[in-house]
Amino acid sequence: MSVVLKLSLISQIFYTEQMQKIRIIALENKKYGIIAELHKMGVLDIRKSSLQLNDDKALPNIQIISEELIKIRSALTFLDKPKNIVEINKMEHKSLEEVLNLSNNTKPLVNRIFSLVESKRSFLEENNEINNNLKNISLFIGTGINLKKIKSESLEFFAIIVNNKKNLRILHALKSASVNYENIIKKINKNTTLFFIIFDKRDKQKIENIINNYADERIELNDKLFDDYPENIIKKLNIRKVEIKKQVNKINNELQDISKKEYHHIAAILEMIEIEYERSKIPENFKKTEKTFIIEGWVPIKKVNKLMSVLENLTNGDYYFEEIKTNELAPTLLNRPSIFKPFDYLMGFYSLPRSDEIDPTWIFIFSFMIFYGLMISDIGYGILSLIIALLIMKKVSKEGLVYNVSKIWALSSIPVIIFGLLSNQVFGYSLSILNSIQIINWNRNIPSIIVFTVLVGVFYVILGQILSFFNKYKHHEKKLAVSKLISIVTIITGTVAIAGFLFHSFSIALSETSAITALITFEITAILSGKEASELTNLISHPLSFTRILGFGLASIIIASLIDKAFTPTLSSFSIVNVLIFIVLLIILLILHILNVIVGMFEGIVQGARLNLVEFFSKFYIGNGIKFKPYSEKRQYTYAQKYNKNKARVKK
Amino acid sequence: MTIDLGTAIAAIGAGIAILGGAYGTGVAQAAIGSAGMGLIAEKPEQFGSALLLLVIPETLVIFGFVIAILILLGVGLI
């Protein structure tokens, strides 16, 4: 029994959630109830059935729901989410009828929102038009032009802006054209002049030709607006602008008031409508017969019984449940404690594990934290990186790259502190009280550390080959599986030979025997590997790649020591200048250490992930798993009506 | 501290080992980095893959580093 338990535990750690493909057949009149309950449970990844039957359709009320959805969703976009609300009074999601009733009751409010938004849009449009008119009319200040007085049946006018260099030419052209005109000229700036030309309508064509030749810009004047002297019009327009501003402010205030009072209520209704919409649409993935419908999908094996119990209760036993035997690849569901979820995010850099292969995430988590800790290994830096990570986590949203990476930094600061203790490093300093527990000396034990990192690399490459053996064996690639096992002999004997010849760690006889064995097993591995033989050179390069742990660790510690040497403040005597210098040096010291920590945090995460994903995973990992996407509802403002379990009975 | 000519040449050799690795890494990362930026611009979800590809050539400078350490160990400088 205990062996079974242990195996089950190993399976839970090294394999993703076990999945079962199922088929449910039930009566048409139970469809909505079953859909709603599946939606609430969120355990079934619904897939289109391969049965040769007719496709089912969306529920008939989808049109009404869709219209309500668009209406409420667009109304909500015009409201601001209230800030500093600690508790939301959640609404109970009872039935579709009630949701539609609630939506209908909000009609006056929604219409009011739309009407306010429409008024605001119209005011803002008017304001833009006024701004354009103001820009044009301000050109005429001081000209004394009043279009109301000029306007007549026989006269017309043009206003143009011309480069100063063309002034004489345009005047000459007007004179030479023998037309009746009057013009008012106003210098706008150093380079341009405004020409306002009043002319007889009969000469319009001639004037227009001249203007087309010389005008740099033609000003379109709204003659309905231009019914007074420019100064008076500007005054009137500015008064109107103030009125518009007041109106817009009033509208904004009312919208803010609605947001404050009604945002959560409308958001709750929207949430319920969205859920109802998803429920109405999902049957498009079903198949149907005259009186029944068929659902197929993947469910975690441990949820099968619960699912059957719910179906039993809903249908009073009138349903058919089938566990489908298939070679199809099951979706991947990673089921880890939430504290380690960010590592799944980092794993996503590579790809999701397939459901039928070893899930190496736990090894990844363990080794990543060790590599990260070794690369920074400083108690002070560990504490500082923890503070930085927690500060970032407080500032950013809980979803996304930055939050997840910060959580990894926060967790990984623990090994940084542990390795800091073991290497006696506090902001680049060594403390005498920690001498007794110091086992790593980065400055003096470089040869030992380089050998240690290579051995870590050898260990990971061997572990990768072992996991690859299991993967290949499981996928019935026995020849390749054997080659993986033989390659382990190559790695071990090769390492002994190199250590013996280069560092004289072993006797000549053992070194020579190991070298010969390594060469023979390498040949056998190459023959058995077939196409994968080209990757065998990685068996040598990948362990060496682990020396980067020493490289980055050493760099971080040397930089910390240099910062200390250059900027550690000392206070020889208490004078104002000395105290000021002390404070400034202390600030510089702190800033430089923070920068070194930030560089270390980025390098640590990139190199730690890289050693796992490139050097380790490439040995065995297949990846490209299909993510388990259960049909589930997401609620923030509402809660689902409680499901009555009293009648639940299990029958298979 | 005085060192003989052989040790000095070995130290220069260690420097060259790092230099060669760093140069190779730089050239490779320049090409991968620009291609990666193009990839992220079109598919932001591929950020992880781009980052991973970018750090792969760093192995070259690590090899240079290992060789340099071995040289310096050989001549007793560290």
Q: What is the largest CA-CA distance in chain A?
A: 119
Write down how long chain A is: 652
Hey, of B58, B61, B73, B77, which one would you mutate to test binding to chain A, going by the most A CBs within 10 A of its CB?
Answer: B58
- Minimum distance, in Å, between the CA of residue A548 and any CA atom of chain B: 6
Those residues with Cβ within 8 angstroms of residue A347's Cβ, 6 or more apart along the chain or in another chain: A353, A361, A364
A348, A548, A550 ranked by CB distance to B48: nearest: A348
How much is the pLDDT for A566? 87
What pLDDT, on the 0 to 100 scale, is given for residue A9? Answer: 63
Q: Which two tokens stand for residue A312?
A: 């039993």
**B62 interfacial to chain A (CB closer than 8 Å):** yes
d(CA A306, CA A649): 10
CB spacing of A349 vs B49 below 8 angstroms: yes
- Per-residue pLDDT at A537: 76
Q: According to the model, what pLDDT value does residue A618 have? A: 83
d(CA B62, CA B60): 5
Q: Does B58 touch chain A (CB under 8 A)?
A: yes
Q: Is A98 exposed, middle or buried (0-12, 13-18, 19+ CB in 10 A)?
A: middle
Mean pLDDT by 10 residues, chain A (652 residues): 56 81 93 92 91 91 93 93 75 88 92 96 94 86 77 80 87 84 85 88 86 86 76 92 96 94 92 94 93 94 93 90 91 84 79 85 90 92 95 86 90 94 90 86 81 89 89 84 89 87 84 91 85 73 86 86 88 84 92 93 89 86 89 89 50 37
- Residues of chain A with Cβ-Cβ distance to B53 below 8 Å are none
* pTM of the predicted protein model: 0.69
DSSP string, A391-403: HHHHHS-SSSHHH
The DSSP bridge pattern shows strands A292-300 and A287-288 to be: antiparallel
State the pLDDT at residue A652: 36
What letter would DSSP give residue A282?
G
For B:10-49, CB contacts with A below 8 A are 47-49
Which residues, 6 or more positions from A488, have their beta carbon under 8 angstroms from its beta carbon? A462, A465, A466
Residue type, A569: P
Element (H, E) at B7: helix B5-42
Contact A589, A569 (CB under 8 A): yes
What's the pLDDT at A630?
94
What does the alpha-carbon distance between residue A210 and residue A174 come to, in Å, rounded to a whole number?
7
What are the structural domains, with CATH classification, of chain A? 152-222 (3.30.70.2750), 338-467+538-619 (no CATH)
- What is the phi-psi region of residue A108: left when phi exceeds 0, alpha when psi lies from -120 to 50, beta otherwise? alpha
How far is it, in rounded angstroms, from Cα A146 to Cα A229?
5
Chain B nearest-CA distance from A344, in A, is: 12
Shortest CA distance from A612: residue in chain B: B52
Would you call B77 an interface residue with chain A, using a CB distance cutoff of 8 Å? Answer: no
In chain A, residues with a C-beta closer than 8 Å to the C-beta of B48 are: 346, 348-350
User: Could you give the CA distance from residue A182 to residue A63 in angstroms, rounded to a whole number?
Assistant: 66
- CB–CB contact B73 A401 (8 Å): no
Closest residue in chain B to residue A549, using alpha carbons only: B62
Report the C-alpha gap between A288 and A53 in whole angstroms: 6
CB contact under 8 A, A544 and B48: no
Q: What is the pLDDT of residue A85?
A: 64
**Which residues of A fall within a CB distance of 8 Å from B56?**
610, 614
Decide if A547 and B47 are in contact by the 8 Å CB cutoff: no
Query: How far apart are the C-alpha atoms of A182 and A207, rounded to whole Å?
Result: 12
Contact across the interface for A350 and B65, Cβ inside 8 Å: no
- Side chain identity at residue B46, one-letter code: Q
> Could you identify the residue written with the tokens 């400078």?
B61
Domains, chain B: 5-74 (1.20.20.10)
What CA–CA distance (Å, rounded) separates A620 from A611?
Answer: 14
For residues A486 and A554, give the distance between their C-alpha atoms in angstroms, rounded to a whole number: 35
pLDDT tens string A320-373:
999 999 888 999 988 777 788 888 877 777 788 888 888 888 888 999 999 999
Interval B22-68: pLDDT, tens: 999 999 999 999 999 999 899 887 887 888 888 888 888 888 888 89
Angle at alpha carbon of residue A455, lines to A453 and A461, rounded to 5°: 105
Contact residues, chain B, for A450 at CB < 8 Å = 66, 69
Inter-chain CB proximity B65 and A544 less than 8 Å: no
Residues A483, A435: Cα–Cα separation, whole Å = 47
Distance from CA of B10 to the nearest CA of A (A): 17
List, as ranges, residues 600-639 from A with C-beta within 8 Å of B.
606-607, 609-610, 613-614
Work out whether the CA dihedral B67, B68, B69, B70 comes out positive or negative.
positive
Closest Cα in chain A, distance from residue B62 (Å) = 6
* Beta pairing class for A91-93 and A45-47: unpaired
